[in-house]
């Protein structure tokens, strides 16, 4: 006779196996790459729009939003936007935080592929 604690432990092990299978699946990888593509594109466009608005003396995109987009995974788009549009390259917050976010995102991707997707 199996005790309830043993049954619960086996159920937990099966759930972990299922979760591990999902994490290793190519579907999750496609979702991750899709998210990164979209967030970086949105971030890049926001940097370009903000630069355009600055030149035309119009309403601007808040710096907080630009930094939040970069932190949420759009750091590569932020770096490209900063240097392609020559925008926010003198602001210390952007010069320090954007490369920091990019380094964290690269390390996170390396970790995910090394520990989970491989």
Residue scoring higher pLDDT (6 or 48): 48
Q: How confident is the model at residue 22 (pLDDT cuts 50, 70, 90)?
A: low
Only one residue has tokens 């952007």, namely 94
CA distance 22 to 32: 13
Q: How confident is the model at residue 116 (pLDDT cuts 50, 70, 90)?
A: confident
**Total-model pTM:** 0.76
35-93 confidence digits (pLDDT tens) = 999 999 999 999 999 999 999 999 999 999 999 999 999 999 999 999 999 888 888 99
Helices (H) then strands (E): counts for the chain: 5, 0
CA distance 40 to 85: 15
Only one residue has tokens 């600055």, namely 54
């Amino acid at each position: 006779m199996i005790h309830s604690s043993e049954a619960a432990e086996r159920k937990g092990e099966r759930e972990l196996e299922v979760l591990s299978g999902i994490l290793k699946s190519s579907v999750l990888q496609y979702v991750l790459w899709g998210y990164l593509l979209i967030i970086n594109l949105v971030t890049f466009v926001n940097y370009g729009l903000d630069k355009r608005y600055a030149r035309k003396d119009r309403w601007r995109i808040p710096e907080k939003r630009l930094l939040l987009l970069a932190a949420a995974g759009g750091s590569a788009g932020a770096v490209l936007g900063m240097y392609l549009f020559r925008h926010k390259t003198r602001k210390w917050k952007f010069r320090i935080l954007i490369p920091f976010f990019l380094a964290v995102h690269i390390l996170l991707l390396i970790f995910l592929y090394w520990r989970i997707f491989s």
